Amino acid sequence: MDGPPRPTYDRHMLELPNWREVSLAEFEAFLREYPRPLDIQPPLTQRKANSREWLDVSLGEWPNNAVAKSYRRGRCTGFQVRG
């Protein structure tokens, strides 16, 4: 394969600007205390999704309206919030 390596899913999630990794407790507190209602994509009814984003529709279009993310890779789970 020539050229730069393609980023893996994990690396893509970790390299986003203005995002910080948080613990599960911090993530849950962020969602609980967020001042406006959030949409979840994909919906929680899709149990096999490896990632989810919590969107604040008052902030405009995706990806600018994403305020929180969770992802799963194998047995590892990660949580990120904007800030």
Question: What residue segments make up the domains of the chain, in order of their start?
Answer: 9-82
How far is the CA of 19 from the CAs of 1, 5, 83, in angstroms?
31, 23, 6
Other C-beta atoms closer than 10 Å to the C-beta of 65 total 17
pTM of the model as a whole: 0.71
70 pLDDT exceeds 90?
yes
Interval 17-66: pLDDT, tens: 689 999 999 999 999 999 999 999 986 666 677 889 999 999 988 888 99
Give 74's Cβ-side CA count (13 Å radius): 2
Output the pLDDT for position 48: 73
Output the pLDDT for position 29: 96
